[in-house]
C-alpha cells in the first residue's frame, strides 16, 4: 500500500485517463459550495472508490462525470466514454410500471437495439445478477436487494466502458451487501469495465477498490489517494485477513484526517 500525492496521480497504469476532472468546482444556486478544486483521474479498467463523509459532494462529483450536471468551474473530460456510461443510483430507481425484464431492457430500447438482439442481452444480464425467475415480476414484488440487483443489471446491459455507482449497497443488510460486493468484483473482472464507486464505508472501499480517493467535506476536494494493492479476486478470506484489517485502519485514519481538515 502506498500514499500518493493527489496531484501526481496514481501509478496504476500509464494509459490516458478516460475520466479527468481538473480543478472542478460546483456551487449550487442555494449558495452551497459542494465541490471546489477537485482533481481526479480514472484510467481504463480501474476500480476507484470515492470515500467521504455525508454531504462532501460524492454524488455531485459522480453526476458531473456522468454529464448529468455541469461544473461551475474547471473541466470535466470524459469524451472517450461519453455515450457509454452506466449509472447505478443510491436508490434502485426502477420504473414501477415495468417488469424486471422491461426495466433492464430500457437502455437498449432507448438506443434502438433490435428487439431480438435486446432480448438475448437482457436475458444474459438477468442471469448475471441471479434474477432469472423474477424476470416478469414488477419491482414492488422484489426485496430491496433484488431491486438493487435489477438496477445493476440495467446499468450493465449495455456493457458500458464506465460504470458509475452511487452508494448502491448502502441500504442493504451486511450479508446481502457482501454477496453483492463479490458479484460486483466478479462482473468487473469478467467485463473489464471501469468502475467509480461512491461509498461512505471504509470497509467496503478497501474490499472493492484498487484505489481509494478520500474526499474532505465542504468544499469537497481530494484529500488523499490510497492504493489498495491486494490482488484480485478477493474473497471472504481477504475480508478476515490481517492485511485487510491494516488497510482498513490506514484508510480510516486517512478519512478522519480528511474530515479534520475540512471546513465543517
- For residue 101, count other CB atoms closer than 10 A to its CB: 20
Q: Which stretch binds Mg ion (CB under 5 A): 54-62, 63-71, 94-102, 228-236?
A: 54-62
Cβ proximity to Mg ion: between 91 and 182 the closer is: 91
101-89-100 Cα angle (round to 5): 10
Q: Does position 10 bind other proteins by CB under 8 A?
A: no
CB of residue 144 to Mg ion, shortest distance in Å = 18
- CA 135 – CA 130 distance, rounded (Å): 10
Q: Which of 3, 11, 13, 68 binds other proteins (CB under 8 A)?
A: 68
List strands edge to edge, sheet with 17-27: 33-43, 17-27, 73-77
Q: Does position 80 bind other proteins by CB under 8 A?
A: no
- CA 1 – CA 13 distance, rounded (Å): 16
Residue 106 contact partner, candidates Mg ion, ligand ATP, other proteins, none, CB within 5 to 8 A by sort of partner: other proteins
CB of residue 33 to ligand ATP, shortest distance in Å = 8
Cβ proximity to other proteins: between 58 and 224 the closer is: 58
Collapse the DSSP code of 69 into the 3-class scheme (helix H, G, I; strand E, B; otherwise coil) and give the result.
Answer: coil
112: left (phi over 0), alpha (psi -120 to 50) or beta: left
Q: Does position 117 bind other proteins by CB under 8 A?
A: no
Binding mask 18-57 for ligand ATP (x = CB under 6 A): ----------x-x-x-x-----------------x-xxxx
Amino acid at each position: 500500500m502506498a500514499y500518493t500525492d493527489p496531484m501526481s496521480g496514481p501509478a496504476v497504469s500509464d494509459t490516458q485517463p478516460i475520466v479527468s476532472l481538473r480543478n472542478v468546482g460546483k456551487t449550487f444556486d442555494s449558495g452551497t459550495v459542494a465541490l471546489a478544486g477537485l482533481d481526479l483521474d480514472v484510467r481504463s479498467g480501474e476500480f476507484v472508490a470515492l470515500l467521504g463523509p455525508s454531504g462532501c459532494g460524492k454524488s455531485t462529483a459522480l453526476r458531473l462525470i456522468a454529464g448529468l450536471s455541469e461544473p461551475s468551474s474547471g473541466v470535466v473530460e470524459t469524451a472517450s466514454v461519453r455515450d457509454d456510461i452506466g449509472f447505478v443510483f443510491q436508490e434502485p430507481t426502477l420504473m414501477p410500471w415495468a417488469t424486471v425484464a422491461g426495466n433492464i431492457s430500457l437502455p437498449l430500447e432507448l438506443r434502438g437495439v433490435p428487439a431480438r438482439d435486446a432480448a438475448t442481452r437482457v436475458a444474459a444480464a438477468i442471469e448475471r445478477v441471479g434474477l432469472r425467475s423474477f424476470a416478469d415480476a414488477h419491482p414492488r414484488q422484489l426485496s430491496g436487494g433484488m431491486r438493487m440487483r435489477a438496477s445493476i443489471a440495467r446499468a450493465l446491459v449495455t456493457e458500458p466502458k464506465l460504470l458509475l455507482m452511487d452508494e448502491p449497497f448502502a441500504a442493504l443488510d451486511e450479508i446481502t451487501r457482501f454477496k453483492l460486493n463479490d458479484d460486483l468484483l466478479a462482473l468487473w473482472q469478467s467485463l473489464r469495465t471501469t468502475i467509480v464507486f461512491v461509498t461512505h464505508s471504509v470497509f467496503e472501499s478497501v474490499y472493492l477498490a484498487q484505489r481509494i480517493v478520500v474526499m474532505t467535506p465542504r468544499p469537497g476536494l481530494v484529500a488523499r489517494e490510497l492504493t489498495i494493492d491486494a490482488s484480485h479476486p478477493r474473497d471472504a478470506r481477504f475480508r478476515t485477513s490481517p492485511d485487510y484489517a491494516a488497510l482498513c485502519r490506514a484508510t480510516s485514519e486517512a478519512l478522519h484526517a480528511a474530515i479534520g481538515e475540512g471546513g465543517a
